[in-house]
Structure 1
């Protein structure tokens, strides 16, 4: 009985190069699909959401839970370079549900061309106001409990002592906020009436946040301008040091902030 063996023909250099290109393109397409439709990473460059999200925190946001709006397919900016900023010609949202009060949202303010991240404070139809540093929703003062004091440093290196509180919304969800004082420029405001189909956003670092209280900069956020719901931190490094500078990690990575929900 004779046996015959079959050997694969050796691949040419051109063939191997082509296979490598195909694999790379497939990986890029999978990454783009995941980033466009499911989850997108973001980083925090400012102090407006401290301590929930610190300068140098990296987090992943869920893009499908609230469905898709006209800014859902922006893939982010890297310095002055925009990877993709495709605006859908729609006025509402496709699929998904509406945010809950207390959710942390990535969104595109109407006057801006970059993403912001704040907490959903006011729902459509709500009346929102700040009086002497206290948040009122529909004439009811939102509960807050003092936890202690801390030092807060903004993106310019300015360090201030802040009072830390646990604030609890009427629905029962709670979160940490910070106040430098109860007499800041945005601690006494007009009453804001949230229009239908819009949300009122505020930063957890109340005296260092330009948010919906500043109508000319952020204002009421249309539901169609929501991009994603922040879910979990996956990396954190001091002073906004670029993550690729691995030699900086031992002294600067905040290991205790990694792989945690933003709602803890």
Structure 2
């Protein structure tokens, strides 16, 4: 048997062959190679969040290591003579670490499975898809919705893909932004630079013209704690018990250009239902939540936990699609996922 090579280039190339064998030391070395760009991403996000070139380069490195990493894991499974389906356990939280540790310490077993079966070919294809998604991650970012300010269009538990390429935003766009305290939140642009915005009786007046609203069937949800923060929804139909139907008045609001979207109203005569006139400075946005009575947005100053006027530089990007959605405290509870919302367009 040939002595294992530790040439990094040869080790990398061998990872694309899913039918060979990998020793413990080779697997440990390649896992170390894979960890480097991931640690770099963690550092970049914490210390250099606006360094787009570095982020793009690091995601490229991550994408280039996805397929060979899985290849070396499978080659190690071959080495200890286990069936390839064992790697499915890598998708189970916490158990994945146990699997890796076993692969690093286990001796040889009783079977050899070197052939590229249909199951392994499918795995290779899925790994290539995952590598492509990693390659595109420099241009979009997932955001988890933890509060109810954007109901009914974004629900608690939605995970939304936000594009980071476009630098142009307009009225009606749902965007992610960084508040003055650094927290990332979402809202809908109502006013752009040069606009005037005012709320009267809960209705939006844009440039001295009232936006039309048409009432439709109420928005309904179950009265129960929502999301990881376990927030309790508020209802138009009063105080309802746990498990009962919580309703909110729902309207279709239309912008001057004809773009329409749904908004909610819970209470009348709220302090935020009547405001002064806001004049949006150049290169700023007036951004509000669609759940109007449950949103601290541009109607409130940053000093009182609102957005204030949002500068263009604080907008991260526009929300495009819901990647997946779950109803419960954890995304790992797949039985609580909402299949109908997977890849749904954000409007």
Q: Specify if TM > 0.5.
A: yes
- CA RMSD after TM alignment: 2.3
The structure that is helix-richer by fraction is 2
Report the equivalent of 1:102. Answer: 172
1: CA distance, partners of 2:257 / 2:2: 66
Say if 1:133 and 1:183, in contact at 8 Å, map to a contact too.
yes
Q: Which has the higher contact order (CA 8 A, sep 6+)?
A: 1
Say if 1:134 and 1:182, in contact at 8 Å, map to a contact too.
no
Residue 231 of structure 2 is aligned to residue 156 of structure 1: yes
Say if 1:151 and 1:159, in contact at 8 Å, map to a contact too.
no
For residues 1-264 of structure 1, the aligned pairs below 5 Å read 9-11=3-5, 13-25=24-36, 29-30=58-59, 31=62, 37-66=138-167, 98-110=168-180, 112-151=181-220, 156-160=231-235, 161-215=247-301, 216=303, 217-239=306-328, 241-244=329-332, 246=333, 249-250=334-335, 252-263=336-347
* CA positional deviation for 1:34: 5.3
* CA positional deviation for 1:26: 5.4
TM-score normalised per structure 2: 0.59
* CA positional deviation for 1:156: 2.6
With over 3 angstroms needed to count, the CA separation of the structure-2 counterparts of 1:8 and 1:174, relative to structure 1, is farther
Report the equivalent of 2:94. Answer: none
With over 3 angstroms needed to count, the CA separation of the structure-2 counterparts of 1:65 and 1:197, relative to structure 1, is same
Q: SS where residue 58 of structure 1 aligns? A: strand
Report the equivalent of 2:118. Answer: none
2: CA distance, partners of 1:13 / 1:181: 63
CA distances 1:17-37 after superposition (whole Å, capped 9, x unpaired)? 213322454577325985873
The structure with the largest alpha-carbon Rg is 2
2: CA distance, partners of 1:195 / 1:120: 14
Say if 1:200 and 1:221, in contact at 8 Å, map to a contact too.
yes
1: CA distance, partners of 2:283 / 2:327: 37
The aligned length equals 220
